[in-house]
Amino acid sequence: MTERHPWLHRYAIFVAFCTFLLVIAGALVTGNDAGLSVPAWPTSAAGQQGLSSTGIFDMPAMVGEARFGHGHRLVAGFVGMLTIILAIWIWARISRHWVRWAALAAVLAVVAQALLGGVTVLRYLPVAISTAHAALAQIFLCLASSLAFFTGANWRWEEAKQVDTSSPSLQHISSVATGAILVQLVLGAIYRHSRDASIIPHIAAACVVTLLVGWVVAGVIRRFAAQPGLAKPALLLAGLLLSQLFLGAGSYLMRLAARNAPQPLWAVAEITTTHVAVGAALLVTCLYVTFQTHRYLGVPRGELKVASTPHQATT
């Protein structure tokens, strides 16, 4: 059943876009070592911490590292309110139960994300909690993006199916590729948040992701190039992957060159933040391709074989 709610769909796209900006804001916090720039939570407690204050709700002045730390909190609070409104709107207007539950999951994710962010500050940036915070950010982005997809007027699962005879199917490979990208982003978060972590697991995961994404893109272009619902996002996926590989190499080399710098360099923070942003876009795009394979492709079913027993003539 098709449900047309154009303004709800536009609002869901806006929430997904703001969530993407939130991921970027979080990456700027890490890239500029600003995780403890506002060391209190949930309030900023600017006066108690010796920070300069605007005098409005005891908010620290948006200067220095505090502009990244507190700016991230402001964006997070804004996205949290947007998500709650989106969930209420979906429950009021959308009859599909699975979309409703996805909206509720998004609300729970943004609440959990806020709590993890608070624990990260109060516990002075433990690697495990900081990594969980980064991982949940990517999951929340996937949920918000999925709601933007699902609320579209043309979104339905009952599309005419093209048979995918490959083994394993593109549905399976794209699903595995999406999971591999998420794992790779988590390994990247561990490397960014820990001074002792090795980059080798992140590089190894990048190789696996490259293989899987290349497999998906090649499969789509080779067999389903005439299907724009698959071909266009697959080409976008390929472009994001190439960009991400170059950004990853550049980020690593610049971090090595600046490893003895007394404070974070803006150029390094800029390229590493871009690396995180493109990684998030890669994850969402691969998730979208996975959804599209389930919409437009079908695995062949076994032929029904009916054994017939010839009638024996009776005399």
At 181-239, the pLDDT tens digits run: 999 999 999 998 887 888 999 999 999 999 999 999 999 999 999 888 999 999 999 99
- The listed range with the strongest mean pLDDT (48-57, 249-258, 297-306) is 249-258
Q: Where are the domains of the chain?
A: 1-155, 157-300
* Average pLDDT score, the chain: 85
- Its pTM stands at 0.86
Give 30-76 pLDDT, tens digit per residue. 887 776 667 666 666 544 444 444 443 455 555 456 677 778 888 99
Instruction: Look at domain 157-300 and name its CATH class.
Output: mainly alpha
Higher pLDDT, 127 or 260: 127
Q: In the numeric block, which tokens belong to residue 152?
A: 């579209």
d(CA 128, CA 62): 28
> For the residues 23-28, what does the mean pLDDT come to?
93
